[in-house]
Structure formats: C-alpha cells, structure tokens
Amino acid sequence: MAKMNIVKSMEKQDKILITGASGMIGSAMCRVLRGQGYENLLTPSHAELDLTKQALVQDYFAKEKPDYVFHLAAIVGGIHANNTYPAKFVYENTAMHSNVIDAAYRAGIKKLLFPGSACTYPKFAPQPVQEASFLDGLIEPTNLAYASAKINGIVMAQSYRKEYGFKTIIPMPTNSYGIGDNFNPEYSHVIPALMSRFVLATKQELPNIEIWGSGTPLREFIYADDVADGMIFLMQNYDEGQIINLGSGEEISIFELAKLIAEIVGYKGELTLDETKPDGAPRKCLDSSKIKSMNWRPSCNLREGLQKMYEHHYG
C-alpha cells in the first residue's frame, strides 16, 4: 500500500475531491472552498463517476490522485423516505463509502473527511448529545436504514485509521438545511417539506395546514454553508479518530419551526397538529463544545438561513 503522508494543513494548490458536489452540503462545500481561495476542486457527477462501482472508484483515484477528500455523497431523506426506501438507503450509502474510503487509502491521499449523522445517536441519549453516546443505546427506528449505513461508514473510517494509520476524520453534523436542499416530497426533510407546503397553501389560499405529530419534538438546525465551513475548519485543524459534533446549539420545536417558516413564506392560515403521525426522536441537540473550544462558531442563525433558502428557491 502507498505510504501515508504527514498532514499539516490544506494548501491552496492541493487537489480536493468533493463527492456529492451537486447536493446541498456538497454545493455549499464548493462555494465555501472557492470563497477561501481553493480552486483545484474535483467535483465528478454521478454520470461521470458511479460511486457504487468499486472498480470505477479505484480507477478514478488512481488517475486523478486527489490530496484531500470530502466524501459528502449520500442518499438522504426524511421519515417517509427512510420508511419507503430502506434497502436503497442501506445498500447505496454503504457501497459508496466503502468504495471511497478504501480507494482513498490505497491511493495514499493525505486526509479524508466522512461525515456521520446525528441520527446515529441513541433515540434517548442524554441531551445535549455528547460524542461518547455513539453506540450507547437504540437509535430512532424511523432512521434505521440510513443510520445503519452511516454507522458502518463511521466504524470503517475509524478502522482504517486504527489499522493502517490512514488519516480520517468524522464530524457529526446536526440537521442541515439551506440552498440546494431537496424539495422532492418523497425525500425532503422537515424544513423544505414545510416550506413547499406553505408556499403552495399560500398560492391556493388554504385556511389550514396540518403539521405531522405533536409539534413538541425539539430539533437543532445548522445552515449548509456553516456545515461546509466547519468541515473545512476540521480538515485543517483536527486529526483525531474520535467523532466530533458539528452543531449550532440553536434548538426549536417542530411547531415553532412551522410558525417561523409560515411567517417567512407569508402564509396567514391556521396551523393544526395531526398527532396520529410519528414524531421521531423527542429531542435531538448536539453538544458541540469540543469544536467550539477550538474557536469555531457558525455564522448564520436559523431565521437568516431560512430567509436565504426561501429567497433562493422561490425568489
């Protein structure tokens, strides 16, 4: 195998591979990297590189020889998508990270970032969730397919570091949203799902909108460009095998979130609750004190981020 390089920090001329560059976090990563002066970016589309095909991934790494990898490609979705396409979520996500991590190691890249997901933490983990809660209890059943693939990727990245000395880092971002979010009703998470419903309801002058569940679960959200900025910060400054949380520390209930999005969209109707629908985890907030102790903070609050997202998608 290729000898691993000693990492100091990303240089502006380094070749950086971003998988999933057309997705919300991937496109944010490209924006933020370019804004920081990194121009030597590799951003292959799915048509150019099918990450589920091992031979194609191995050949790509051998040919392009990236210095750093942000593996951001993933099949993602909310509760409906997780329940409807569990086999797709498990197979494709596991295949992609397995192929990318192994090919990156074999190609001798300097460092790889593989993001975990807050949904891999136990459903009833003590709040705010610390990194030590990983694998310390049962996860939320509605997230099982996606979370199980992410858990496999986390363990794989840690195992390649432990056995081979391959430099991998694993940020654990909280719920992300922003420009480029998925508004497809089959795959969308709560923010784009609510936003699209309120936009349609405003156009149709509907007097009432029903929100799934009790409205009481608390969620933490972070703007996509802040996620990208935090990941770049970690790529430059963090080199440990332990998971590190990446959150905003800003919590809001689902019902209050719905009211805020309705206000931004301009929907004037009534909001009611359908408590027969699932809530998911009762609270999900990350303890991000570790990255904050390194002097990193997000720059965009929830109202500002939602406004930017709405204006970009519907403006």
Q: Determine the Cα–Cα distance for residues 67 and 15; give it in Å rounded to an integer.
A: 5
Confidence label for 1 from pLDDT (cuts 50, 70 and 90):
very low
267 is catalytic: no
Q: Is residue 37 pLDDT above 70, yes or no? A: yes
pLDDT band at 275 (very low <50, low <70, confident <90, very high): very high
Among residues of the chain, what percentage have pLDDT more than 70?
A: 97
Q: Given 38, 105, 146, 160, which residue is catalytic?
A: 146
199 — pLDDT class (breaks 50, 70, 90): very high
Confidence of residue 83 (pLDDT cuts 50, 70, 90): confident
pLDDT of residue 282: 83
Cβ atoms < 10 Å from Cβ of 215: 19
pTM, two decimal places: 0.93
CA atoms of 51 and 87, how far apart (whole Å): 17
Is the confidence at residue 6, as pLDDT, over 50? Answer: no
pLDDT at 191: 95
Say what the pLDDT of residue 5 is.
42
User: What is the chain written as a DSSP string?
Assistant: -PPPPPP----TTS-EEEETTTSHHHHHHHHHHHHTT---EE---TTT--TT-HHHHHHHHHHH--SEEEE-------HHHHHH-HHHHHHHHHHHHHHHHHHHHHHT-SEEE----GGGS-TT--SSBPGGGTTSSPPPGGGHHHHHHHHHHHHHHHHHHHHH---EE-EEE-EEE-TT----TTT--HHHHHHHHHHHHHHHT-SEEEEES-S--EEEEEEHHHHHHHHHHHHHH---SS-EEE----EEEHHHHHHHHHHHHT--SEEEEETTS----SEE-B--HHHHTTT------HHHHHHHHHHHHH-
Identify the pLDDT of residue 315. Answer: 84
The predicted pLDDT at position 273 comes to 96
pLDDT, residue 105, reads 98
**Residue whose pair of structure tokens reads 């589920």 in the numeric block:** 52
Q: Is the pLDDT of residue 298 over 50?
A: yes
Round to whole Å and give the CA distance between 287 and 266: 33
Q: Are 81 and 186 in contact (CB under 8 A)?
A: yes
More confident residue, 20 or 185: 20
Measuring CA to CA, how many Å separate 132 from each of 125, 127, 227, 262? 10, 12, 21, 37
Q: Write out the DSSP string of 117-177.
A: -GGGS-TT--SSBPGGGTTSSPPPGGGHHHHHHHHHHHHHHHHHHHHH---EE-EEE-EEE
How much is the pLDDT for 4?
43
Look at residue 197 and tell me whether its pLDDT is greater than 90: yes
Q: Which pLDDT score is estimated for 187?
A: 73
Q: What is the pLDDT of residues 164-186, one digit of tens each?
A: 999 999 999 999 999 999 898 77
- Report phi then psi at 155, rounded to 5: -65, -40
For the segment 206-242, what is each residue's pLDDT rounded down to a tens digit?
A: 999 999 899 999 999 999 999 999 999 999 999 999 9
Q: In which band, very low, low, confident or very high, does the pLDDT at 8 lie, cut at 50, 70 and 90?
A: low
- List of domains in the chain: 16-179+221-249+285-300 (3.40.50.720)
Q: What is the secondary structure of 249-265 as a DSSP string?
A: --EEEHHHHHHHHHHHH
Task: Give the pLDDT confidence score for residue 7 in this predicted structure.
Answer: 46
pLDDT at 217: 92
Mean pLDDT over the full length of the chain: 94
